[in-house]
């Protein structure tokens, strides 16, 4: 069926189907970490690799799917990605030790990356830039809401049926959405608009972006903010449930509060930009993150072990992140305007690679308290402050040179 025969509502639905399982597979099982650690008889470092290796899979794949789909078409690459996504999801269900589970989580991430990358590319294939941006923004709001809902659903599934059924749910959802897209979603990139697959050309484009200082500054700031958030999220279930005495049935409410805060800030971004301006909102959100991190770092150690207090501070951190992280991301994309596709792939790859490494470090530092987690988050945000100040200085110097 040609894309012209489909209504905008149908296309939105099909693209949402592409995003749905990929949005949920990352964090639906996080509330089950304590039960998974006991079931696999493993430690905190290994159980957190269930998350970090999934990120690594997405990271590696994000460098491949975009250029490949430009050459052979979106639908072929999406079907390949979905096949790996389904295979990895089924593999997770039947994993009987932690090493096998980590391997299948990597495969699952490698496959799920196609959903996000190809889904967004299809929208830009089908619509002009302004309309495409509007549709992607709407879809992103829905996706962020799904991500916020996922841990609540995962906590309920784990409490009622056991952690394995989170993986069963994702496998079933992946098969269902993959089948819908395979049967209904047409190719969006005509043959005449495809580009030859040139490793040399792709490498040249990547180098062009990687040489840009503005790209690096905004990408690293985005990465450090996101890393602080994910370090907290990944350690939360292990510390709150196993060491601070929070009931596993209640814990998802703590986790979902952070995600809801991020969603509220993200979906309100457009309205707040009208009042504060882009740069004003960026500074306001970033300052909020810095202040909340500083507050967590300086409070007495015994206060750092108070679940409600530390969650409240991280909720405000999440509001700040939801406000400014999208603006920093957009600045990364705009740093080299003629290479936005390559920039998007590199931002995703760099961010997830560094987040995976930092989550692994947090597992190695794990001591059962929030103090080690807060110290690592503080290190990330301190680095982002240094990069922010250096980039502001670079920007002012560049403007001064232009004025001369």
Taking the domains of the chain in order of start, what are their residue ranges?
1-197, 198-404
Q: Does the pLDDT value for residue 389 go beyond 90?
A: yes
**CATH architecture for segment(s) 198-404:** Up-down Bundle (1.20)
Question: Which of the four pLDDT bands, split at 50, 70 and 90, describes residue 189?
Answer: confident
Mind listing the pLDDT tens digit for each residue in 37-72?
999 999 988 999 998 999 899 989 988 888 888 888
The two domains 1-197 and 198-404 share their CATH topology (first three levels equal): yes
- Span 223-252, average pLDDT: 91
Q: Which of 125-139, 305-319, 325-339 reaches the highest mean pLDDT?
A: 305-319
Q: What is the pTM of this model?
A: 0.84
**In which band, very low, low, confident or very high, does the pLDDT at 263 lie, cut at 50, 70 and 90?**
confident
What is the C-alpha to C-alpha distance for residues 82 and 95, in angstroms, rounded to an integer? 20
User: In this predicted structure, which of 185-194, 217-226, 310-319 has the lowest mean pLDDT?
Assistant: 185-194
Other CB atoms within 10 Å distance of the CB of residue 96: 8
CATH fourth-level superfamily of 1-197? MFS general substrate transporter like domains (1.20.1250.20)
Q: In Å, what is the CA distance from 382 to each residue of 52, 248, 394?
A: 22, 33, 19
Which H or E element spans position 391?
helix 370-403
Is residue 368 classed exposed, middle or buried when 0-12, 13-18 and 19+ CB atoms within 10 A define those classes?
middle
- Asked if 358 and 227 touch (Cβ cutoff 8 Å), the reply is yes
Given a cut of 80, whether residue 283 has pLDDT beyond it is: yes
Q: How confident is the model at residue 141 (pLDDT cuts 50, 70, 90)?
A: low
Beta carbons of 205 and 361 less than 8 angstroms apart: no
In terms of pLDDT, which residue wins out, 89 or 259?
A: 89
């Amino acid at each position: 069926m040609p894309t012209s025969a489909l209504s905008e509502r149908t296309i939105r639905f099909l693209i949402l189907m592409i995003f749905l399982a990929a949005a949920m597979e990352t964090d639906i099982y996080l509330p089950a970490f304590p039960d998974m650690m006991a079931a696999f008889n493993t430690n905190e470092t290994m159980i957190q690799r269930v998350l970090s290796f999934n990120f690594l899979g997405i990271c590696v794949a994000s460098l491949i799917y975009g250029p490949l789909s430009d050459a052979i078409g979106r639908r072929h690459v999406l079907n390949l990605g979905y096949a790996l996504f389904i295979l990895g999801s089924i593999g997770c269900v039947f994993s009987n030790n932690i090493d096998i589970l980590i391997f299948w989580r990597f495969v699952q991430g490698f496959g799920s990356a196609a959903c996000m990358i190809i889904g967004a590319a299809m929208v830009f294939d089908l619509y002009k830039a302004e309309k495409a941006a509007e549709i992607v923004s709407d879809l992103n709001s829905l996706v962020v809401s799904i991500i916020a809902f996922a841990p609540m659903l995962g906590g309920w599934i784990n409490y009622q049926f056991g952690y394995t059924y989170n993986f069963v749910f994702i496998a079933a959802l992946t098969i269902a959405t993959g089948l819908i897209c395979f049967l209904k979603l047409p190719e969006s990139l005509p043959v005449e608009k495809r580009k030859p697959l040139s490793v040399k050309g792709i490498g040249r484009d990547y180098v062009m972006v990687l040489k840009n200082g503005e790209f690096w500054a905004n990408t690293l700031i985005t990465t450090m903010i996101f890393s602080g958030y994910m370090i907290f999220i990944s350690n939360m279930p292990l510390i709150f449930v196993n060491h601070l005495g929070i009931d596993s049935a209640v814990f998802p409410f703590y986790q979902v509060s952070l995600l809801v805060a991020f969603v509220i800030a993200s979906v309100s971004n457009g309205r707040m930009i009208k009042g504060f301006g882009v740069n004003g909102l960026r500074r306001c959100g970033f300052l909020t993150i810095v202040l909340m991190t500083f507050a967590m770092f300086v409070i007495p150690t015994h206060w750092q072990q108070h679940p409600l207090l530390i969650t409240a501070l991280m909720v405000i951190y999440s509001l700040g992140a939801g406000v400014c992280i999208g603006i920093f991301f957009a600045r990364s994309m705009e740093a080299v305007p003629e290479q936005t596709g390559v920039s998007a792939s590199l931002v995703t790859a760099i961010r997830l690679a560094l987040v995976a490494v930092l989550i692994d470090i947090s597992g190695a530092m794990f001591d059962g308290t929030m103090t080690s987690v807060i110290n690592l988050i503080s290190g990330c945000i301190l680095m982002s402050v240094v990069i922010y100040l250096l980039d502001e200085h670079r920007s002012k110097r560049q403007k001064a040179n232009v004025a001369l």
